[in-house]
Amino acid sequence: MRHVSYFISLMLCVSPAAYAQEKIPFWASSGNPSNDKLLGMPENGQAAMLSKATRYGCLGTNPFYMGTEIRGANKGVSFWSITCSNGGEKFMIAIAPDDTGSTKVISCSLLHGHPWECYKKLRDLPK
């Protein structure tokens, strides 16, 4: 499987003026600071940040928050799906609950036959 590790710390420093006035909703407390920042952004901001995480020149659309794992080895890791409007490639992005919001990105096409699927809530996936 092709994994790409990359830091999404950009989310904390790109366009600070654009998001300075954005307030994170009271419900956005996943225990993952980078994810909480994403949840507080408008959809176009989420798409822009997730697109950068793919590092494939993706023009992201339809960001989808799959959820944050609450137990096991992935505890605190938040999962998102994004579709690239330029080519239609779909990606799943895992955001770690560390200080930099490090990410792992995998093409949804590589998950064929795997119990995990893009654009599904974690609670709806097999355990």
Token pair recorded at residue 121: 């809530």
Exposed, middle or buried, 55 (CB in 10 Å: 0-12/13-18/19+)?
exposed
pTM metric for this prediction:
0.75
Condensed to tens digits (0 to 9), the pLDDT of residues 13-69 reads 233 333 333 444 444 577 899 999 999 999 999 999 999 998 878 999 999 999 999
Determine the Cα–Cα distance for residues 108 and 41; give it in Å rounded to an integer: 24
Condensed to tens digits (0 to 9), the pLDDT of residues 89-101 reads 999 999 999 989 9
